Structure 1
């Protein structure tokens, strides 16, 4: 898959999530195809300013991690990512028209201001949802064993999805596959 089509996929994901980044976030968003894994999905994205550097940044919550992206013309690209189990807290504070987000990890505090009030609240809710998930949720899924597959076939036969003949054919193929290993 070309980088352009991955960027188009990312833009489509953002559109489906009703996220409309400003022109100030374009350079960071263009970097996302290189930063995200091929099957990693964006859950939410906010943009704001890094309180320390005053650079415009994006903060991306994916189905795997939290990513801070700062792409500045003079300073290059800075990417920091944190697995959800490393985030100890995330909070937002509403100001007059905007909000700020503070993310606490074991050895770091990331502070972003200039975030839209509604977006900051929604972003924090999404991140908290992932923070509350068990660590196993983020582990790669195991491949089903032959025994798992045989069990699944048995259930399909039991529920009338497979005939006895189809069940026997599939079972034979699985056993042959097992014997080839």
Structure 2
């Protein structure tokens, strides 16, 4: 699947979840196809400001993990992700117009402010639901399928990392492997 169609798929997911990111989250949303795995689905997403860096970021909750995405012109793409079993607590605090979210991960506290009040509460509820699930629910498939490997090869070829000859050779090897 091309990045463009994956981005359209992500935008459709957000629309179905009634999430309408602002123009300030545009860079981070465009980076999601390279951050999310092919079958990973968004459960909820909020945007805000990282208190530490003062950068605009998005927080993405998927069925597998919690992801912080910061795409800045000068600093490039910064992605941090954590499985739900690493999150010890998540809380929000409302002010007059906005809210802040504090996420405790190991010995770290990640603080995000300038989050919409309603969205902060909903995001925290969604993450708490995943935190309450048994750890084995977060295990990712142990081995990628041949189809997954072929898709990865195709992306490497499209991006110019593999030549046509290298692609053909790797594809032949994959298809000749016993299942």
Tell me, yes or no, whether TM beats 0.5: yes
TM range (shorter): 0.7 to 0.9
Shift of 1:141: 6.3
Report the equivalent of 1:145. none
Aligned to 2:34: 34
Give the equivalent residue in structure 2 for 1:23: 23
State the partner residue of 1:6.
6
Equivalent in the alignment of 1:136: 136
User: Which position in structure 2 is the counterpart of 1:54?
Assistant: 54
Structure 1's unaligned 5+ residue stretches are 143-180
Residue 114 in structure 1 maps to residue 111 in structure 2: no
* Distance (whole Å) between structure 2 residues aligned to residue 24 and residue 98 of structure 1: 16
| Superposed counterparts of 1:136-155, under 5 Å | 136-140=136-140
Match for residue 105 of structure 1?
A: 105
Alpha-carbon RMSD:
1.5
Q: How does 1:155-170 map to 2 (within 5 A)?
A: none
Q: CA deviation at 1:35?
A: 0.4
**Cross-structure match for 1:67:** 67
Report the alpha carbon displacement of residue 77 of structure 1 after superposing the two structures with TM: 1.0
Unaligned runs of 5+ residues in structure 2 are 143-178
| Whole-Å separation in 1 of the counterparts to 2:8 and 2:38 | 13
SS of the residue 2:39 aligns to: coil
Worse overlay, 113-122 or 132-141: 132-141
- Give a deviation string over 1:13-57, Cα, whole Å, max 9, x none: 000000000000000000000000100000000000001111100
Q: How many residues matched?
A: 144
| Aligned-partner Cα distance in 2 for 1:8–1:29 | 10
Query: CA, structure 1 residues 9+88, in 2 after alignment: closer, same or farther (shift >3 Å)?
Result: same
Cα distance in structure 1, aligned partners of 2:52 and 2:18: 29
Deviation at residue 140 of structure 1 after TM alignment: 4.1
3-state DSSP class of the match of 1:70? strand
Q: TM (normalized to structure 2)?
A: 0.78
Residue 79 in structure 1 maps to residue 79 in structure 2: yes
Q: Could you tell me how far apart the structure 1 residues matched to 2:117 and 2:57 are?
A: 16
